[in-house]
Structure 1
Amino acid sequence: MRALALSAVVAFAIDQLSKLVVVHWLNLKEIRAIDVLPPVLNFRMGWNHGVNFGLFGSDSEAMRWALIVLALAICAGVVIWVRREGGGTRVMVSAGLLVGGALANVLDRVIYGAVADFLNVSCCGIRNPFTFNLADVAIFAGALGLVLFTGKTDENPS
């Protein structure tokens, strides 16, 4: 469980520090766009009121708090699940990344009313219109790790 807690704290801190630097110190919230390594990496300010890609997006307070409660319930469920099922360091780190990223986005919703997204990555002549943040990266990496590293035991190899 120590690996879970440590990876959650690190994911949370890296995301919040990146938002502090980019959104506030570089003033992206006012400037709206900073070209970093165009066209591959750009900062584009986005406020996500929904979930991935703005799904279920709404400016309503009810939806905001419903998404906060949902994220907290998912975090609790993941922690209970991996604690009950056990698993090695890779499972615990994966769970921690997912939980830390989700909690960082919860804090955004509490403070700002929406999740602060600013990373925009495009490649190979394809312009990506979406933005994301480092919490989203941690959530994705954690979920992928849980898929890859859980459910396999010595008694039942698959």
Structure 2
Amino acid sequence: MRLLALTALIIFVADQLSKYVVVFHMRLHERLTIDVLPPLLTFRMAWNEGINFGLFANSSGAMRWVLVALALAVSAGVLWWLRGQTQRPIVWVAGGFLIGGALGNVIDRVLYGAVADFLNMSCCGIHNPFSFNIADIAIFIGAVGLVLFTSDNKTT
């Protein structure tokens, strides 16, 4: 459980620090776009009021709190599911990735009303219109890790 907590803390801090540096210190929220390694990596500001790719975004104050509650419920559910189980360290790390990312996006919703997305990657003539953040990457990696590495028999 300590490994899960440490991983979640590291992901949470990395997410929030990256958002602060890129969005506010580098003023991406004013500039809207910063070419880093075009077209492979561009910082492109997007305030996401919905879930992935802006799904369920409707500018409703109520939806903001529904998504906060959902992220907190998923985080609590992962903790409940893994509690008391003997798992390989990779499972605790995966849980930490998912929870740290979820909490990073929760803080954005509470503070700003939307999630600060800024990473945009395109390649090979394919233009990607969507932006994401470190928390989104961590949630994806954590979910995949839990599916792939969690044992059903509660053994190591």
Question: Which band: TM-score by shorter chain?
Answer: over 0.9
Unaligned runs of 5+ in 2: none
Residue in 2 aligned with 1:39? Answer: 39
Query: Is the 1:105–1:115 Cα contact (8 Å) retained in structure 2?
Result: yes
Identity of aligned residues (%): 61
Residue in 1 aligned with 2:150? Answer: 150
1:128 is paired with a residue whose SS is coil
| Distance in structure 2 (CA, Å) of the matches to 1:149 and 1:96 | 13
Size of the alignment, in residue pairs?
155
One-letter amino acid of the counterpart of residue 75, structure 1: S
Query: Is the 2:87–2:151 Cα contact (8 Å) retained in structure 1?
Result: no
2:47 is paired with a residue whose SS is strand
Residue in 2 aligned with 1:52? Answer: 52
TM-score by length of 1: 0.95
Residue in 2 aligned with 1:117? Answer: 117
2:83 is paired with a residue whose SS is helix
Residue in 1 aligned with 2:132? Answer: 132
Q: How does 1:68-147 map to 2 (within 5 A)?
A: 68-147=68-147
Shift of 1:153: 4.3
Shift of 1:84: 4.0
| Distance in structure 2 (CA, Å) of the matches to 1:86 and 1:69 | 28
Query: Is the 2:95–2:146 Cα contact (8 Å) retained in structure 1?
Result: yes
1:124 is paired with a residue whose SS is coil
Unaligned runs of 5+ in 1: none
- After superposition, give the CA deviation of every residue in 1:99-119 in whole Å (9 maximum; x if it has no partner): 000000000000000000000
Query: Is the 2:85–2:154 Cα contact (8 Å) retained in structure 1?
Result: no
One-letter amino acid of the counterpart of residue 147, structure 1: V
| Distance in structure 1 (CA, Å) of the matches to 2:73 and 2:51 | 15
| Distance in structure 2 (CA, Å) of the matches to 1:143 and 1:107 | 20
Shift of 1:152: 4.9
- After superposition, give the CA deviation of every residue in 1:6-61 in whole Å (9 maximum; x if it has no partner): 00000000000000100000000000000000000000000000001111112111
Query: Is the 1:58–1:64 Cα contact (8 Å) retained in structure 2?
Result: no
2:36 is paired with a residue whose SS is strand
> More displaced, 20-29 or 86-95?
86-95
Residue in 2 aligned with 1:3? Answer: 3
Shift of 1:154: 9.0
Shift of 1:83: 1.0
Query: Is the 1:11–1:135 Cα contact (8 Å) retained in structure 2?
Result: yes
2:59 is paired with a residue whose SS is coil
